[in-house]
Amino acid sequence: MKKLTLLALAGVAAAAISASSVSAADYKIGLSNGWVGSEWRTQMIEEAQAAAAAWKERGHNVEVVVQSANVDVPGQIAHVRNFINEGVDAIIINPNSPTAFDPVFAQAKEAGILVISTDAEVSSPDAIYVGIDQTAWGAAGAEWLAKTLNGKGNVVAINGVAGHPANEMRVAGYRSVFEKYPDIKVVNEVNANWDQAQGQQAMQNLLATNPDINGVWVQDGMAAGAWKSIMDAGKAGDIAATGEIRKDFIDLWTSEKLNSGASVNPPGVMASALNVAVFMLEGRELKEPATAGQYGNAMYLPIPFIDSSNLAEAAKQVEGKPGYYSFTSALSIEEAEALFK
């Protein structure tokens, strides 16, 4: 009897171990961030980590491994190789180049690893993109600015990092809009590298050389600085300019009643990509294949837009957050699942 009991207990223990390993359904996902020193990127990673933790309620233990590089393509390629060697199930990358990763993504696919790009599209046929359409992002701000100026005026543009895929798509977006308005003149375009201090200096220089500016198209990360120069010059009531999605700027926008509008590139894009990745790792099939975009491998997410009509709502979302916190959105697990058969 004692022998049977021990055997039974051993069987129960083995079954418990087996059930535990099945129910855990572990996935390891590598997150590659291509730019350090950005609070937006820090929030992006934190939201992705929170999304991974939320999967525990669905019976999945999703582990994330984070690596960062400072606007460095070789460093990011090394990330991907490290992830391949580590045997991750998926890689989610915010890439510094649209084309440089093709060979290493092919190696990842050969190793059976799912690759998803977010925030900037990639040309690789071995990856898909889950994020916003950066061209449409740039166009939305330009359309708001053109309509606010009643289709005429002198406009300047302050762009991000020259050559970065997201920056180039945004620039293409605003140019495509302004081309439709013959009475809008883009009198200068400069780069300020998504840095607030550089954006402030760039705007100061532009005001000195172009005193008759009516509008400013400026990307997030620099808009708060640009607006500070506009206000310091006493021109806040004369100039319309695109804005930021950070809490500190939303607070300023609200208190000073600035003439601004902001396309939203939410830090939650990586969390959205992670939720899509887990369903793909489960073997689920998308209802609509990722075939959008210039490379035919994109799944575009909605682009929220903040203006005077919904500024109060945006301010409420960021209430109580630190000044660097960005207005955000992401596909929940349920919303991501709705994309699959």
Residue 17 pLDDT: 35
Give the other-Cβ count within 10 Å of 9's Cβ: 10
- 134-160 per-residue burial string, b: 16 or more CB within 10 A, e: under 16: bbbbbbbbbbbbbebbeeebbbbbbbb
| Distance in angstroms (rounded) separating the CA atoms of residues 335 and 341 | 13
In the predicted structure, residue 168 carries a pLDDT above the cut 80: yes
Residue 209 pLDDT: 95
- 181-194 per-residue burial string, b: 16 or more CB within 10 A, e: under 16: beebebbbebbbbb
Q: Top-level CATH class of 21-132+267-303+328-337? A: alpha beta
Contacts 24+ apart (CB under 8 A), 178-182: 178/142, 178/146, 180/146, 181/146, 181/151, 181/152
Residue 62 pLDDT: 97
Residue 238 pLDDT: 96
In the predicted structure, residue 4 carries a pLDDT above the cut 90: no
In the predicted structure, residue 2 carries a pLDDT above the cut 90: no
Residue 70 pLDDT: 82
Q: Which CATH architecture fits 134-263? A: 3-Layer(aba) Sandwich (3.40)
| Distance in angstroms (rounded) separating the CA atoms of residues 207 and 240 | 13
- CA distances, 218 to each of 163, 190, 262 (Å): 16, 10, 9
Residue 10 pLDDT: 37
| Distance in angstroms (rounded) separating the CA atoms of residues 294 and 104 | 20
Contact 267, 326 (CB under 8 A): yes
Contacts 24+ apart (CB under 8 A), 127-130: 127/101, 127/297, 128/290, 128/297, 128/298, 128/299, 129/290, 129/293, 129/295, 129/297, 129/298, 129/299, 130/269, 130/272, 130/273, 130/276, 130/290, 130/298, 130/299, 130/301
Residue 11 pLDDT: 41
Decide the pairing of beta strands 260-263 and 305-306. antiparallel
What's this model's pTM, rounded to 2 decimal places? 0.87
Most distant CA pair in the chain, distance = 97
State mean pLDDT over 116-123.
96
Lookup: tokens for 84: 């391949």
State mean pLDDT over 13-42.
69
Question: How many alpha carbons fall within 13 Å on the CB side of residue 208?
Answer: 7
| Distance in angstroms (rounded) separating the CA atoms of residues 102 and 104 | 6
State mean pLDDT over 27-43.
92
In the chain, residues under CATH classification 3.40.50.2300 are: 21-132+267-303+328-337, 134-263
For residue 129, the 8-state DSSP code is: E
State mean pLDDT over 63-73.
90
Mapped onto helix, strand or coil, the DSSP state of residue 187 is strand
Which one, of 250, 213, 257, lies nearest residue 235 by Cα? 213
pLDDT per position as a tens digit, 210-248: 999 999 999 988 999 999 999 999 999 999 999 999 999
- Say what the alpha-carbon torsion angle 147, 150, 153, 156 is, to the nearest 10 degrees: -10
State mean pLDDT over 89-101.
96
In the predicted structure, residue 68 carries a pLDDT above the cut 70: yes
Lookup: tokens for 327: 């207005």
Residue 22 pLDDT: 36
State mean pLDDT over 102-131.
97
Contact 240, 17 (CB under 8 A): no
Helix (H) or strand (E) holding 314: helix 311-318
Residue type, 111: A
In the predicted structure, residue 119 carries a pLDDT above the cut 50: yes
Mean pLDDT computed over every residue of the chain? 92
Residue 18 pLDDT: 36
